[in-house]
Each structure stands twice: as structure tokens, then as C-alpha cells.
Structure 1
Amino acid sequence: MVSFDGLTDLWDRLFGAQPDPPPLLVLVTAAVALVVVCTRLPWRIARNAVTIAHEGGHALAALLTGRKLRGIRLHSDTSGLTLSAGRPTGPGMVLTLLAGYVAPPLVGLAGAWLLGDNRITLLLWLAVVLLLAMLIMIRNAFGVVSLLVTGGLVLAVSWYATPQVQAAFAYAGVWFLLLGGVRPVVELQRLRSRGRMPASDADQLAGLTPFPAFFWVVVFALVNLAVLLVGATLLADPLLADSGLAL
């Protein structure tokens, strides 16, 4: 049986605040995340994390708007598919389609808020819980493997790594979600302009609303850039504090 002291230690470990990270760590992790987003092969590998957040956004929006979630598929080409049942038109369907491209930076923003309060371990454990919850709805083998590998990595870091490694991992991951939310929107418009994504989220939204697909691409871009700005401000707080400019 788990002792009371053990539960207390676990509680303190989970909900306790970690020390402020060195300002250099914040800068280095931001630079690493930017390099990953801007370079071809690292982006091709790491983009799976963005796809997980994208499809998770569709799934959560579907559930919150009363739609019945049928399943989620993640593919090796970093694409994904979330199936839900309900009215094919109306606000619920619009919000479900809208949630995908804005989900990664919004998840990053939530992470930046937790990091701003130095809740690094809590952030990592919440990520594991969300990945496990999403695993229930995965309907293909690659999706299962992708979530298990991602969740296992996050769990291993949260349990075995030193506080410094945990901080570096958490900051790099949050920076990546904030920055990585912008590139898929650019890729979306590039593929649309070539006629290669006729059934994209933006095009489906155009079919459900009076606004053209390009309008929705712009909405995705503006939301993600605004979230990136807010998230970057939260993450940069140690830098501002070190320079005496913290709000």
C-alpha cells in the first residue's frame, strides 16, 4: 500500500512550483523550437505532435458541441482525421472544423501559462493524461504507436529527468506548439493554391458559412499569431524579470 508520506511527496512533486528557469534556457529552447519548425527533416518528424494537438482540437470541440465522437486516425505522413456524428451543418460543425488549426498554439498557450507559474511537472503530467484520454479514441495502429511513444517520452522525462532537463523539455515543447501552429496554416494555403486540398478544413467551413475558404485561412493565421504573441510574452517572463522589466 502507498503510505501517507508517499502520497504527500507525490502531491508536492506534482503541484509544487519549480525554481525559475535560467533566462538562457528560455532563449535556447525558443531557438531550438524555431529551427525545428523551419527545417525540413526535423519538422517532418516533430510535426506529429502538432497533428496530435490538431486532431485533439477537433475531437474536443465535437464533444463540447454535443456531437458524437466516432474516432481519430493519425497517419505516418503527419496527416490526421477525426470523425464525429451529428448535424452536418450548424454552429457545432463550424466550431469542430474551426478548432483543428488553432488547437496547437492554444495548447501551447495553456502550457505557457503553467510554465509562467513554474508548474513544470504538472504540465508534463497533464500532457500524459490528455494523451491517454485521446488514445481511447484512436482507430489505427500508427496512431496508437504515435501516442504511446509521445506519452511514454513525456512520462519518462517527468519521472526520471532532473528539474533542469524537465524545464528544458517543457519549454522546448511549449515553444514548438506556439511556433508550430503557424507553419501548417502556410502549408494549407500553399496546397490549396495548387488545388491539392479541396476538402481542407477551410474549404469545408466555406461550404457551411457565407465566407470563402481564404477568409478562414486568414482567421487561422491571425488567431495563431495572436496566441503566439501572448504565449511568447508569458514564456519570456524570466528574461524580463532578469532585466528588471517584468510586468
Structure 2
Amino acid sequence: MQEVLSEIVRRVQQVQPVPPLEHQLVLLLVAAVLVVPRPLWRVSRMLVTIAHEGGHALGALLTGRRLAGIRLHTDTSGLTVSRGPARGPGMVATLLAGYPAAAVLGLAGAAVLGTGRAVAFLWVLLVALALMLLQIRNLYGLLVLLVVGGALGAATWSLEAGVLSWLAHLLCWVLLLAAPRPVVELLATGRHPGSDAGQLARLTGVPERLWQLLFLLVTTASSVAGAALVLPLQEWVTRWWAG
């Protein structure tokens, strides 16, 4: 076990090559294919849901609430239950943390990937999945996390550094592109009293539509900022100027 941990630490500390501009554009295109078409969107949306519920869980813990469980459903929705005061800043922060979570995770990943720490980013995701696994309260959610975590763990352990860099950047692109879409869908379908925005409206008196727009602003801004960090813009400008 000590040898395994030592090997994990060694890999996490390594610096992997950052894909050049052409490869980043290919990864961006692949991520778009995974996010835009509706059949594939059901798969990529589950990744967003995992981040969404992880955001609720983190928000609850950071505000002193007690986490009671997480569920992932076959329709790609989820539910995070926490115990604590039904009103107040803690509940508001917990509800606020859901929709922006995927975009903020993508933004943080972009910042890490810019330093060449692709494997470190992947291991952070693995640790987060393992912690969520402890809180899963339904069989489907358990299977989803085992499949996603198992595939990611196997890839991180067996693939070479260059391929892992591609994988980490692809996951980052999927998060950045996919994060705003559930908010757009929420805006398109109108009011939902049971949604995060609907609950925030009841707790604060601020209209539900304004909360939806705030979610859209945060997710879009985080995604744009993350994209700017991931793309080697200096290389792009240098080529354009030279050409």
C-alpha cells in the first residue's frame, strides 16, 4: 500500500505537456460533440449533475450543515439532502452552490492545467468522487459513481502522461461547455418552485427569474474565463501577428 501511495504522489507531482493550440481546438470540438447533440448530452449532463450535487454538498459542509445523503437519478437529475436550519445564510449558500459548481470546477481545472498538472487535476476529481461515494443513498447513483470513478482511476493509473493531459483537458472542456446548458434549459421552461432558484426565491423574496439569470451569468462568465485559461492565447496571437 505504501508503494502505491508513493507512486500516486510521484505522478501527481509530475508536470505533463500542455497540448498545443491545434490539439486544444480538436479537444474543444470533441467536447462540443459530447455536449450539443441531445443523445450524447444525457451522458455529459450526468457529469454536470455530479458536479452540481457535489457543489450542494460542499456548500452545506462549509456553512456548518450536516450532510444527509446524495442521490443521482436516471433522468440525469439529482438530490442532495442536508440537515440544519430551514432558512438563513447556510441554506441560501447551499442552494446557490449547485448550478455554478460545474463551471467553477472547470475554471479551477483550467488554472491547474495551465501549469501542466493534468494528473493532479484528475486525482482531485477522483478524490471528490470517492468522497461523494460515501454519501450516495441510491443504487443508481452508486453505479454511476463507480463507473465514472473506476474508468477515471484506471485511465489515470495506466495511460501515459501525454494521453492523460489530453483526457484532463477534454474533461475540462466538457465542464466549461456543459455548465451553462442546464441553466438555459431552466430559463426556457419558466418557473419551477422546487428548483434551486424557486427555493431561493421563497427564502429570500428575490424573484426566481433573477436567481436563474444570476446562475446564467456565473456559469457563462466562469466558462469564458476557463476557456481563456485553457487556450494558449499567446501562441494564437503570436501566430496571427507573424502571419
What TM-score comes out, normalization by structure 1 length?
0.91
Match of 2:75 in 1: 77
Instruction: Please tell me whether the aligned partners of residues 18 and 165 of structure 2 are also in contact (alpha carbons under 8 angstroms).
Output: no
What amino acid is the match of 1:234? L
Shift of the 20–148 alpha-carbon distance from structure 1 to 2, 3 Å rule, reads same
Match of 2:209 in 1: 214
Matched positions, count: 239
Identity of aligned residues (%): 49
Return the offset for 1:210. Answer: 2.6
Matched, 1:96 2:91: no
RMSD: 1.7
Structure 1 residue corresponding to 2:57, chosen from 52, 56, 59: 59
* 1:78-227 aligned within 5 A: 78-191=76-189, 193=190, 197-227=192-222
Give the 3-state SS of the residue equivalent to 1:129 in structure 2.
helix
Return the offset for 1:35. Answer: 2.1
What amino acid is the match of 2:53? E
Return the offset for 1:11. Answer: 3.1
Inter-partner Cα distance in structure 2 for 1:134 and 1:113: 23
Inter-partner Cα distance in structure 2 for 1:2 and 1:129: 18
What amino acid is the match of 2:217? L
Matched, 1:46 2:41: no
Contiguous gaps of at least 5 residues in structure 1? none
Match of 2:229 in 1: 234
Contiguous gaps of at least 5 residues in structure 2? none
Return the offset for 1:9. Answer: 5.2
Give the 3-state SS of the residue equivalent to 1:84 in structure 2.
strand
Instruction: Please tell me whether the aligned partners of residues 16 and 162 of structure 2 are also in contact (alpha carbons under 8 angstroms).
Output: no
Bigger mean CA offset, 166-175 vs 136-145: 166-175
What TM-score comes out, normalization by structure 2 length?
0.93
Question: Structure 1, residues 122-164: CA drift from partner, whole Å, max 9, x if none?
Answer: 1111111110001000000001110011111111111111223
Inter-partner Cα distance in structure 2 for 1:10 and 1:77: 35
Question: Structure 1, residues 1-37: CA drift from partner, whole Å, max 9, x if none?
Answer: 756xx87654332111112322222111111112221
Return the offset for 1:61. Answer: 0.1
Question: Structure 1, residues 66-93: CA drift from partner, whole Å, max 9, x if none?
Answer: 1111000000110000001111111111
Inter-partner Cα distance in structure 2 for 1:217 and 1:10: 41
